Copies of this chain bind each other. A is one copy, B any other.
């Protein structure tokens, strides 16, 4: 291989694909596969769960295939000042990497040891706005179960679509986040799959470096996202996801409207005193047009008063403060609605100005 590429483009591409090698694999999976043909260089990395590939423009003097350690290659290219990077490799895998007055000689790995590059051509797709899908990931992934969960399926985000919209749903057993959105264009319907939240978080990171829309394609086994000339492919999680529709209460006996930042600040203050041993417990006393928020522990106690707009019955209810804080942090609206039925049944939190985000949280039962 002998090619010339722009340093900045090359580095961006390396950063993108190296996300598929972050799990510290051993041997060939630590590598990035470079392949040059026509006027392009393709880069490809995989850890068998996620694979990421991208293509950049290149002056191709001699075609070829190289497998290079991801960390070494990224560090070298990052260290170059911007200019033209030349990669010149002989048949024995000796590589000269030059840029301006710098010359590196490194050795490639044997590319025949690397898994075959799989490319998915997307015909049917759901087209999403770059910024919108990033928000959907941000507003649901925090509510996924962690990797040591007893239900591995809950470490993923349910993606489903119908004629109306596309939904992301995350549940960890104590709370649920649902985010729905219109797609820009849609040539796939009735999709239902569970994508690892780690995959979507990697997709989110890639998207911050691109402006392009995202083209999603989902089949029985794979989740495929195309962003310009970059493709991310991930395995799906297999298993039965919770039927989340049944969890949503059909009616509400208490409905509260209030300022989001006031509630968030009060929860954060109460959390300082709330005790890890008592599940970061805070108690909310809704009466008339006042919320009294309290918390206590060995350190002392705290009382917060907030003006609210209440309709329905007065109510006392207790939560793990972290679950309330997590949800309020991703809501961008100035005001939120809280809906309750009793001290022992789930609460709904929604932004006032849109019905695209719904958060459900289980209360902590307090014996009097």
A256 within 8 A of B: no
The answer to whether B269 touches A102, judged by C-beta atoms less than 8 angstroms apart, is yes
Contact present for A101 and B300 (CB under 8 Å)? no
Q: Which of A105, A107, A266 has the most B CB atoms < 10 Å from its CB?
A: A105
Contacts of A76 in B (CB 8 A): 269, 272
Contacts of A266 in B (CB 8 A): 101-102
Are A300 and B268 in contact, with the CB atoms below 8 A? no
Q: Chain B's nearest CB lies how many Å from the CB of A107? A: 6
Q: Which residues of chain B come closer than 8 Å to A107, judged between CB atoms?
A: 299-300
Chain B residues closer than 8 Å to A303, beta-carbon distance: 102-105
Instruction: Decide: A75 and B105 in contact? CB cutoff 8 A.
Output: no
Using CB atoms, name the residue of chain B closest to A272.
Answer: B75
* With contact pairs A272-B72, A272-B76, A272-B79 given, residues A302 and B105 touching in the complex (Cβ less than 8 Å): yes
> Given A265-B79, A272-B79, do A102 and B300 touch, yes or no (CB 8 Å)?
no
Does A106 touch B at the CB level, under 8 Å?
yes
How many copies the complex holds: the figure is 2
A106-B299, A300-B106 are known contacts. Are A268 and B79 too (CB-CB below 8 A)?
A: yes
Distance in Å: Cβ of A61 to nearest Cβ of chain B: 21
- A301, CB-defined interface residue at 8 Å: yes
Chain B residue, CB-CB nearest to A104: B302
CB-defined contacts of A80 to chain B, threshold 8 Å:
269
Complexed CA–CA distance, A266 and B101 (Å) = 9
Alpha-carbon gap, A106 to B302, bound state (A): 8
- Whether A265 contacts B81 in the complex (CB less than 8 A), given A72-B272, A272-B72, A272-B75, comes out as yes
In the complex, how many angstroms separate the beta carbon of A178 from the nearest chain B beta carbon? 30
Measured CA separation A266–B272 after assembly (Å): 48
Task: Tell me whether A305 is interfacial, beta carbon within 8 Å.
Answer: yes
A266 nearest CB across to chain B (Å): 7
Q: Let me know if A273 is at the binding interface, CB within 8 A.
A: yes
In the bound assembly, the distance between CA atoms of A102 and B265 in angstroms comes to 10
Measured between alpha carbons, how far is A80 from B265 in the docked complex, in Å? 8
User: Beta-carbon contacts of A247-270 to B below 8 Å, as 1s and 0s?
Assistant: 000000000000000000110110
Tell me if A304 is interfacial: C-beta within 8 Å of chain B. yes
Q: Is the CB of B299 within 8 A of A101?
A: no
A358 → chain B closest CB, angstroms: 28
Q: How far is the CA of A303 from the CA of B107 in the complex (A)?
A: 15
Distance in angstroms from A11 CB to nearest chain B CB is 14
Also in contact, A302 and B272, with CB within 8 A (given A79-B265, A81-B265): no
Kindly list chain B residues whose C-beta atoms are within 8 Å of the C-beta of A102. 266, 269, 302-304
* Of A95, A106, A269, most B-chain CB atoms within 10 Å: A269
Q: Which residues of B contact A304 (CB under 8 A)?
A: 101-103
A242 on the interface (CB 8 Å rule)? no
Please list 26 pairs of residues, one from A and one from B, whose beta carbons are closer than 8 Å in the complex, sorted by A's number.
A72-B272, A75-B272, A79-B265, A79-B269, A79-B272, A80-B269, A81-B265, A95-B300, A101-B266, A101-B304, A101-B306, A102-B266, A102-B269, A102-B303, A103-B302, A103-B303, A103-B304, A104-B300, A104-B302, A104-B303, A105-B300, A105-B302, A105-B303, A106-B273, A106-B299, A107-B299
Excluding A101-B306, A102-B269, A107-B299, 9 further A-B contacts by CB distance (< 8 Å) are: A72-B272, A76-B272, A79-B268, A79-B269, A101-B266, A102-B302, A102-B304, A104-B269, A105-B300
Q: Which 5 A-B pairs have the closest CB atoms?
A: A106-B300, A79-B269, A101-B305, A103-B303, A75-B272
